[in-house]
Structure 1
Amino acid sequence: MNITNKVLFSCLISFSLMFTACSEQKADIAQDKTSETTSTATTQGNWKSKATELSTANATEITTDLAQLNQIVNHANTQALQLRAELQSATRQPEKRQQILLKANDIQAATQQQIMALNLKSSEVQSLRTQMIDNLVTSQKMYTLSTAPDFNANAPSDEFKQLGKRSMALQQKISAEMDALNQDYGK
């Protein structure tokens, strides 16, 4: 894989990997909560709430919050895996790769809105959400840099490299924390 493909693949993978922690988990959510969560992408939610304002170690609230977050994450993960397969088949088609990255960026933006629209009650899941939003913002910055006219995929800027490292570190942390919560509270 040449450098250009690695950079493009890296942006998409950073999105995909962020969500793999819970791709195997089953989320049991009532239908009314499903429609409430997915239809209110423009709702503010309580994503700015501090952990001290929310409950701690409340199993019921963690389970409910985790189920809501898992639903959004599982949907985004499915889309990201499809785009990854498309990207792998478009290795020698720069225009198609660009279209795929644009789709990935759109999915990230929609996912960020859905995550932000949740009204969570537990500090544990709130912490995960905050980290996910941070990683999505980081991925957006990488995307913006990669679409600049002076971007050179063969020699990406130091800022791009640093954002990539930061994104990977966040993904690992999110994955570990989400796995732990899903083991303890996931259905």
Structure 2
Amino acid sequence: MIPAESLAIFVLASLALAATPGPNVALIVGTSLKHGRRAGILTAMGVNVGVIVQLALVSAGLAYVVEAFSRHFDLVRYAGAAYLVFLAIQQWRHAGEGADMPAPSARAAFGRGLAVAFANPKTLLFHAAFLPQFVTDVQDPVPQIALLAAIFAAIALASDTLWAVVADHARTALKGRFTRLADRVSAGILLGGAAILLAAGRR
């Protein structure tokens, strides 16, 4: 059993990590600013399904999958950055169009989140190094890693949903003459997410 003190430290660390903006948050906020809360939350769900799959891989001890991501680290993150740039260009080009540019379907919004979650290999490598630090049962670490993964996943989903809701409130406040500005800020946030991916290193 993981000591309560270690578990509390893990929760605090997870809260800090989940609240730190990165490519996933950039996509969620950018989507909510442009298309509203529903699209933002669906995107957050897609992101977090990707995170849960990554956590499951770590929990199952599939070291060869982690190694595969590590081996193709740059290729994966470049692809992810290119995708975020593409979305940013689309939002910049259609800034201020509102109803003329329909929101992505539920499947498309979810798929965007899932794609960007997997386009950030550093997340998988980080979890592979982060979670085991809180494991006390080295003989059978899988149950404890699975518990830690579940806690982190719950915190990440709550945090990402909050980002989507806050961005939607900002979108509502900027409606009307500021719609174009909100859309361009959204595009800028997506570009920021791409820049984070491009700047990411293995360490």
TM-score normalised to structure 1 length: 0.35
Structure with higher Rg: it is 2
Q: Which has the higher contact order (CA 8 A, sep 6+)?
A: 2
Which of the two has greater helix per residue?
2
